[in-house]
Amino acid sequence: MTIGGLSLDPRMVALFGGVAGILILASLIGFVLSRRVTSEAGRETVRNLNARIKAWWGMVAVFALAFAFGKLVTLVLFGFVSFYCLREFISLAPTRPSDHRAIAAAFYVFIPLQYWLIWDAWLTMLTIAIPVYAFLLLPVLSVAKGETGDFLLRTAKIQWGLMLTVFCISHAPALLILNIPNYQNVYLLFFLVTVVQLSDVLQYVFGKLFGRHKIAPRVSPSKTVEGFIGGGLAATAIGAGLWWITPFSPLQAAGMAAAIVVAGFLGGLVLSAVKRSLGAKDWGTMIEGHGGALDRMDSVTFAAPLFFHLVNFYFTI
């Protein structure tokens, strides 16, 4: 299929058509609910739901563009996602003026470097650049200023931010460079993002409908056993149903989806604890209804590297 000189894979068009269909349905449900619900608490929930749906339309549109225009645009897009997430993280983490050089290196050297390494498909270096070289270099840049107060804390915060928002998130677009015979890797990225985000949404929905038992009331009060099991199983089933766009068999696709669901859940839990230890509820205010960008990407930070290495270990040549 060709639109304005741009060739689109019919399978991708069908997939995005499906996503748009789900969103249209969700928007309709949101609209009907906003007319029906009258209680104040219910209204608040519906408002939140509609804000989420609206933000989803924007995200899907951006993703569709990235998928249509290929690897370069996808990498640039994820580079900006990392940028905004790191900005949110560093803004909340109380660093000091004397950390300025280390933070500058994290933003201006390591974000472009990490995404360039993916562009260059230099697999070894992209898996060690931040865990080894940034780990060693950043404290060196800070120590030169001679401020020892909270040195370990400050250094750890910058390194954690860089690992989560740049290193971990970059493993999602890094799926594009894996060498899988006779396969278009862009579908793996679609599989990952769809399963992670649906798992988030379905856990939220199942939790709202059936949630009774809180899993970690102090860390993340909205996470319930019922939500996790119901939403997780539903997302795993949808992942299994998408096996035909992956190099996996239906059973393998279910296993992969389950791994993504569990890692995503744990990522959400850990980042929620990090956020609370910094004294905030939402990471930022960038996407309406979603808190910050990092609130949408928290599950991706854990799911992407795990999925990347599972695929790399079992399915590449």
Partner 1 sequence: MIRALLIGATRFLVGGQGVWIGSAPSGAQRIYFANHSSHLDTILLWAALPPHLRRTTHPVAAADYWGKGAVRRHIALRILNAVLIDREGGRRVKGGPLAPLHDVLERGESLIIFPEGTRAFEKLPGPFKPGLYHLALAHPKAELIPVFLDNLRRAFPKGSLLPVPISCTARFGARIALAPGEDKAAFLVRAREAVAALA
101 near partner 1, judged by CB under 8 A: yes
Under 8 Å between Cβ of 221 and 173: no
295 near partner 1, judged by CB under 8 A: no
96 near partner 1, judged by CB under 8 A: yes
Q: How far is the CB of 108 from partner 1 (least distance, A)?
A: 7
Q: How far is the CB of 199 from partner 1 (least distance, A)?
A: 29
Q: How far is the CB of 88 from partner 1 (least distance, A)?
A: 7
290 near partner 1, judged by CB under 8 A: no
284 near partner 1, judged by CB under 8 A: yes
Under 8 Å between Cβ of 126 and 97: no
Give the DSSP H/E element, type plus range, for residue 3. Answer: strand 2-3
Provide CB contacts within 8 A for 9, sequence distance 6+. 1, 184
Q: Give the other-Cβ count within 10 Å of 275's Cβ.
A: 23
- Taking the mean position of all CA atoms in its chain, how far away is CA 288? 17
Under 8 Å between Cβ of 171 and 304: yes
Between residues 99 and 200, which has the closer beta carbon with respect to partner 1? 99
4 near partner 1, judged by CB under 8 A: no
Q: How far is the CB of 128 from partner 1 (least distance, A)?
A: 24
143 near partner 1, judged by CB under 8 A: no
Residues 56-85 that bind partner 1 (CB under 8 A): 83
Closest CA to 256 of 302, 305, 307: 307
312 near partner 1, judged by CB under 8 A: no
129 near partner 1, judged by CB under 8 A: no
Between residues 107 and 135, which has the closer beta carbon with respect to partner 1? 107
Between residues 101 and 208, which has the closer beta carbon with respect to partner 1? 101
Under 8 Å between Cβ of 292 and 282: yes
* Tokens matching residue 14: 């069908």
Q: What is the dihedral of CA 179, 191, 69, 60, to 10 degrees?
A: -160
- Residues lying near partner 1 in the complex (CB under 8 A): 83, 86-88, 90-91, 95-101, 103-104, 107-108, 284
